[in-house]
Amino acid sequence: MNVRTLCLGILSTGEASGYEIKKDIEEGLFSHFIDASFGSIYPALTQLAGEGLVTVRAEEQSGRPDKKVYAITPKGHDALARVISVVPGRDKFKSEFLFQMLLQQYITPELMRAAIDKQIADLEGDLARIDECRRAEQPLAGARFVADYGEAVLSAGLRVLKEKKAELLLALPQQAAE
C-alpha cells in the first residue's frame, strides 16, 4: 500500500491539505501502522489531482503559501474501493530494538539501558496517542477496532519490557541494575 492510496484513504474522511494529511499520519489513528513524509505526500496529491481522483482548492492565507485543500471525487472513491478490495498483504514489522536485544553481547550496559528506556518511552507515547484518538470522535467505521488492536499490541510489548527490564540489565557483565 503506497502513499497514493493512503492519501486517498485519509481524504475519504474529509478534505485536507498535504500538511494536514501529514499530521493525521503522525498523530491520528493511522500513526502507529503507517509512515509518510512530505517528499512523498505532495507529489502523490499532485498526481491524484492530475488523474481527477481528487480536486484542489487554493485557500489564500496571509504570509504563507496558499493552502491547497484537496477533496476526493466520486472517481476517487471508486479507485479507493478498487485498490482496497484485495486481501491485504502481510503486516510488516521492523525493529532495530529487537535486533539490538538479540545481539546484546555487543553493546554496553549503558546503551542497553538507554535502548530499553527509549523503547518504553516510544510505546508509552504511542499508547497515549491512541488514547487521544479515542477521545476525539472518529468518522471512520473501524476506528474503535483499530484503537483496540493497537492498544492491545503496544501494551503487551510494554508489559513484557517492564517485566524483563531488570532481568535484562542484571544479565549483563559488571554494572548494577537500576
Contact residues for a copy of itself, defined by CB under 8 A: 1, 6, 9, 12, 29-30, 32-35, 77, 80-81, 84-108, 111, 114-115, 118-119, 122, 140-143, 145-146, 148-150, 152-153, 155-157, 159-161, 164, 168, 171
**Which C-beta is closer to DNA: that of 86 or that of 141?**
86
**Which C-beta is closer to a copy of itself: that of 62 or that of 85?**
85
Cα distance from N-terminal residue to C-terminal residue, the chain: 43
Residue 143 CB, shortest distance to DNA, in Å, is 22
CA distance 168 to 116: 9
CA distance 125 to 174: 31
SS3 (DSSP) at 68: strand
14 interacts with, out of a copy of itself, DNA, none, CB within 5 to 8 A per kind = none
Is residue 72 within 8 Å of 11, Cβ to Cβ? yes
Residue 156 CB, shortest distance to DNA, in Å, is 26
Residue 132 CB, shortest distance to a copy of itself, in Å, is 16
Q: Which is it for strands 54-59 and 67-72: parallel, antiparallel or unpaired? A: antiparallel
If you search the block for the grid coordinates 486481501, which residue do you land on?
87
Which stretches of the chain bind DNA, using CB under 7 A?
Answer: 1-4, 17-20, 23, 35-40, 42-46, 61-68
If you search the block for the grid coordinates 513484557, which residue do you land on?
160
Residue 70 CB, shortest distance to DNA, in Å, is 8
CA distance 24 to 32: 11
Residue 30 CB, shortest distance to DNA, in Å, is 12
CA distance 3 to 21: 11
87 interacts with, out of a copy of itself, DNA, none, CB within 5 to 8 A per kind = a copy of itself
Find residue 57's DSSP bridge partners.
69
37 interacts with, out of DNA, a copy of itself, none, CB within 5 to 8 A per kind = DNA
